[in-house]
Copies of this chain bind each other. A is one copy, B any other.
């Protein structure tokens, strides 16, 4: 328990914290008072059929969506839809290791939370707090795509459209190993102290190493080669690392990264079907646009395309962006133009 300024309204903009009560966890244990950090835009219509749910990605918060993806002129248009962004458990805003009042789950004692736990929590939130049971769409990227798939498989009759962007329904072996490298960078720092540091600054070096792993996997070989960072007003490659990536990750809470990283590693909708991925994806009733990013180094197009073939009503919509995974940040306008075009088409279907 310590104060980390990144997780404040000053940085994140306002959000609402909503308790959903006790959350039993899929892999054992419970969060006695699970509090979800929620931001909404737009209004719920009378038919309650205009709800778009957005779960968040690794390190991401509602703010990333509000800044880049949502607003007038975007497919995610608050004048049409009631958009509910739910921060994932452990992301620093929803119940998290460094902020919880519950000493039994603080810091290193935080339990293992799964993608399924997030979806169960979100479903309860929507039903009990907003009176919503059907979703016009679920839209999520990266770990948000994992949650999107989990929604579509777990509640097939209640999700009408799904847009998993840059993520998979079943985490791949490579992705599992990649996430381990990310975790290694943080937990190997002596300052991490098994999760019992006194400030994220104790883990500054580990967080910077973590950032440098993202430099080689979050951004493509070609993005670096073509110096596609120049429009972002950096002058050198090292400035991108030291002036953007390192500070971005050094601000974060280390236990939060560990909780999310482990969750990511174990994302797999085939848990519901004894390991049979085809059976799990075959359950989906939603219209799905599978939207990988062309240069993604760890959710490559072919992995997403393979899953798309197992979904009854899916289309593969590849987003062309040299950045790779971090295209999600919306570095160039062409990225959002593609996302909006695909989402508009999905929403019109």
Footprint of B on A, CB under 8 Å? 172-178, 180-181, 184-185, 188-190, 205-206, 209, 212-213, 215-217, 219-222, 224-225, 227, 237, 241, 297-298, 300, 302-303
Contact = CB atoms under 8 A, between A and B. Distances in A.
B184 A212 contact: yes
B212 A180 contact: yes
Nearest to A219: B174
Looking at A176, A216, A225, the one whose CB has the most chain B CB atoms below 10 A away is A216
17 contacts: A172-B221, A173-B224, A173-B227, A174-B216, A174-B220, A174-B221, A174-B224, A175-B221, A177-B216, A177-B237, A181-B209, A188-B189, A188-B206, A213-B213, A221-B300, A225-B303, A297-B297
A212 B175 CA distance: 12
A34 to B, nearest CB: 32
A178 B189 CA distance: 19
Contacts of A178: 216
Given A174-B219, A216-B217, 19 more contacts: A172-B221, A172-B225, A173-B237, A174-B216, A174-B225, A175-B221, A176-B237, A177-B215, A177-B216, A178-B216, A181-B212, A181-B216, A188-B206, A190-B190, A216-B298, A221-B300, A221-B303, A225-B303, A297-B297
A209 to B, nearest CB: 5
B224 A209 contact: no
Contacts of A297: 297
A175 B181 CA distance: 17
Nearest to A187: B209
Contacts of A190: 190
Contact of A172 (B180, B215, B217, B224): B224
A177 B224 contact: yes
A189 to B, nearest CB: 7
Contacts of A185: 184
A302 B222 contact: yes
B212 A188 contact: no
Contacts of A300: 221-222
Contacts of A222: 300, 302
Contact of A184 (B172, B209, B225, B302): B209
A188 B204 CA distance: 12
A177 B224 CA distance: 10
A348 to B, nearest CB: 33
A256 to B, nearest CB: 21
Nearest to A222: B302
A216 B176 CA distance: 9
Contacts of A224: 172-174, 177
Contacts of A217: 216
Nearest to A245: B177
A177 B172 CA distance: 24
Contacts of A173: 224-225, 227, 237
A305 B172 CA distance: 29
Given A173-B225, A225-B174, A181 B213 contact: yes
A258 to B, nearest CB: 15
A222 B215 CA distance: 21
B177 A205 contact: no
A188 B205 contact: yes
